[in-house]
Structure 1
């Protein structure tokens, strides 16, 4: 009688892939987790309890068939595992790297609730598709038959690319318009390489291009091409721009040099890793090297910033967050990684303003700005304010707010100054005003500025226009954008099929 390879959670302990030592990884942008070996992946997959109600699958936005591909990995049927994994997820190897599994699939694992430690779902998911690419099991997405319908996708992030994949496989003519010189959105320019190495993203871009998806890059709607021009070219349009408008901080000296947006800081770092010419980085404006860095915020973007600053050679890195560790929105796994790498978290603190001066701006006795340009006369006194610290108010947690988390309250007379040479604002993102930017006031938005769209089909009130991802949800996760893109593509295909009038056989 064959012995089952599953239900091993009682005798086999949870193991994660080996993590590189903090002292080594803080000096480069390579991914910090090593790959599972085949035997370890099968061993860990075999810990799955194959429960009747798979909460891991229920709490995955894509409803990935996790128990089935775990069983196939445990049984050594890896190619079949890849096919099951790819059936519901356009980019499983990316989700395996950057999804907050501790809040989604792994956080709801049944054996975790019983005290045995969750199955390492994310690591196995990553292993499956990385292996599939290595073994040549990933086929081209180029369809066998072509369709005449055309879809334009505005935005080459995860939502737009997921939709492009589904549509192109069905034979639809797909064009992706993106403002950057590389597709991928935040996967390419926002998320650092130590979480998601860029060749992983580029591999998918290449697969789409080889499959016939057309990319029109360095093209911003409203600047280089009009929204109406795109509509005229295509039978349907998907808006997948994401949200890039940073939330701002007020207070004294909020516009001093050395106070920067997280998106600008992370984009500059990633561009530098590509070998691009990045003047703002080279001048020191968007580099943390040798500086006392303060990051304001507690989400995943803040974690990306603090860990990037460590790798750039910051003198010190502190993260200010107005709640405590238990109430922060970012991944606890990322916080632990940051602490190992030398980041100092200052909980229950809120900035109220900034200190600024000209002391550190003297180069050989000459006043210069952040780019090294010499200042003269009144410019020295009026323009040359460089941040030297963050004015911080200590907080305590009071009653729970509408989200269920305890609301922070100010502690009177407990303010102090946190020294800083570089302050990075990682307070989240808001949608840009697309109706104004695109000169299209009839594009409906919600009171939050997000595009109004049906939550099932992702259709907007404008005929033939769909919207997916963060521009509809607000700042969210890559996995939700993937789901939206796939659903919108399915809705478009259904509409195309319904519009085809069947031929009537001649009598």
Structure 2
């Protein structure tokens, strides 16, 4: 209905209620509440329904955002969910963790003069509401096919592909090295951004849909890549990238200097009730410590905000560029500052100091020079500008690189790029091995969850076409 829309002039942007910083630092619960129905309808009604929807164009999944905003504004919530789910296997997860300020909301046409539509929060509402109403049910394929697909990796790319393949009736098996499905959604992202039951209900639905999970399964030990190829009609490699990018400075080998993922995984496991010896003995617990995180992406934001919640004495984030050039979400930086994190802008690590364990981080000031190959101004050190920050726990959040999959999987014939990512035909997403596909970060490098979902969906389509052709040839 026309009178349910175009209200951005008369209705101000209003985010869901945000917990006060002093309250939220005491736990790992999510920061933002959920809209009620009227709040969601009202905020959705601010959509301008523009002829060229930049929110849609700048969404990696090509979500039909204006359409499900319109349906929400009209109160057609089940239809709104169906529209959102038609292009996204995990709308409520993307609604929580996507950097909307850099994607859909950041490109909303009303953003400059009226503030953007709160797309992520509405997306979260309509999907959470769909779960509450019982509209989301296990997949029931129209026909069961005998062909099976093995998926290596239970992260967002693997899970998205598995859902699409199961809808088509294939027998799907997911292999993952961890004891829970979800990949970084479970172990890498803190609960204050993504509560774990949100992920578990998604993976639980896939299990109820007939997808078989093989957890604690290390490909290369339990079975090699070639053994899995013999077992399945097609394979998808969706392992993600887990090897931490290193830092070469003096003192980096001192005690109490840890990789971001080790730190976040320990915290998430403790939050899920696991026994983590390195947390119990204080090694990976920030309580009472001066914490320094090196890096400026979303993983760094996760680390600093986790340290605050663990009761750190002080938390500093050292980043070599300024605020305007920080790759992490603007909203995350703001939340971290509210929670007491100190950002040390235009600073780079020169050395870690201490005897056996770290006691300080010597940093030098930096300035932005000429643009690099990407167009960003390249940081360069300022001579004679060094100073030292107190540090009892140093955390390196410098990004992730691929592991050596050919060696791990016992498949030296698997072709990889010089960066270690798996080489694929980008049209078919197939590797150099017949029937073996790859998707997600293991192909594109460390990226966003929303891109992993997109890649998983695309890979599923290619696998369906491959198996269809394979059946035709046999016939």
Partner of 2:3, secondary structure, is coil
What does residue range 98-497 of structure 1 map to in structure 2 within 5 Å?
A: 98-113=97-112, 115-357=113-355, 385-497=356-468
2:435/2:466 contact within 8 Å kept: no
- For residue 455 of structure 1, report the CA deviation from its aligned partner: 2.4
What CA deviation, in whole Å up to 9, does each residue of 1:326-370 have, x standing for no partner?
00111110000000000000001100111113xxxxxxxxxxxxx
Alpha-carbon distance in 1 for matches of 2:424, 2:117? 36
Moved more, 194-203 or 393-402: 393-402
Over 3 Å counting, the alpha-carbon distance change for 1:253 and 1:502 in structure 2 is closer
User: 1:503: how far off?
Assistant: 11
Secondary structure of the residue aligned to 1:399 is strand
Question: TM-score normalized by structure 1?
Answer: 0.92
Deviations 1:232-261 (A, max 9, x none): 110000000000000111222211110000
- Which residue pairs with 1:13 in the alignment? 12
**Normalised by the size of structure 2, how large is the TM-score?**
0.98
- Three-state SS of the structure 2 residue aligned to 1:88 is coil
The whole-number CA distance in structure 2 between the counterparts of 1:59 and 1:450 is 25
2:45 equivalent in structure 1: 46
Q: Distance in 2 between matches of 1:501 and 1:255?
A: 57
Task: Name the CA shift for 1:229/1:402 in 2 (closer, same or farther; >3 Å).
Answer: same
Cα deviation for residue 457 of structure 1 reads 2.6
Which one has a bigger Cα radius of gyration? 1
C-alpha deviation, 1:169, in angstroms: 1.1
Compared CA separation, residues 180 and 3, structure 1 to 2 (3 A): closer
How much does 1:182 deviate? 0.1
Instruction: Structure 1 unaligned segments of length 5 or more: list them.
Output: 358-384
Instruction: Check conservation: 2:234, 2:467, Cα contact below 8 A.
Output: no
- Tell me how far apart the structure 2 counterparts of residues 499 and 285 of structure 1 sit (CA, whole Å): 53
For residues 502 and 328 of structure 1, what CA distance do their matches in structure 2 show? 52
Is contact 1:142–1:210 with CA below 8 Å preserved after alignment? no
* Unpaired stretches in structure 2, ≥5 consecutive residues: none
Secondary structure of the corresponding residue to residue 68 of structure 1 = helix
Per mean C-alpha deviation after superposition, the further-off stretch among 100-109 and 452-461 is 452-461
Q: How many residues align?
A: 475
Per-residue deviation at 1:128? Answer: 0.6
Give secondary structure in 1 for the equivalent of 2:317: strand
Per-residue CA distance 1:102-122 (angstroms, 9 max, x = gap)? 111111111114x11100000
Q: Is contact 1:9–1:49 with CA below 8 Å preserved after alignment?
A: yes
User: What whole-Å deviation, never above 9, does each CA across 1:4-51 have from its counterpart, x for those lacking one?
Assistant: 211101111111111000000001000000000111100110000111
Partner of 1:376: none
Indicate conservation of the 8 Å contact 2:304/2:315, yes or no.
yes
Q: What whole-Å deviation, never above 9, does each CA across 1:71-127 have from its counterpart, x for those lacking one? A: 0000000000011110000000000000000111111111114x1110000000000
Match of 1:85 in 2: 84
* Counterpart Cα distance in 1 of 2:440 and 2:472: 32
In structure 2, C-alpha distance between the alignment counterparts of 1:432 and 1:304, rounded to whole Å: 23
Deviation beyond 6 Å, 4+ runs, structure 1: none
Q: CA deviation at 1:502?
A: 9.7
How many Å separate the matches in 1 of 2:427 and 2:133?
36
The secondary structure found in structure 2 opposite 1:110 is coil
Contact 1:456–1:487 (CA under 8 A) maintained in structure 2 = no
> Matches of 1:209 and 1:122 in 2, distance apart?
27
- Determine the C-alpha separation between the residues in 2 that align with 1:214 and 1:61: 28
Q: Partner of 2:110: helix, strand, or coil?
A: helix
SS at match of 2:384: strand
Query: What is the CA-CA distance between 1:268 and the residue it aligns to?
Result: 0.2
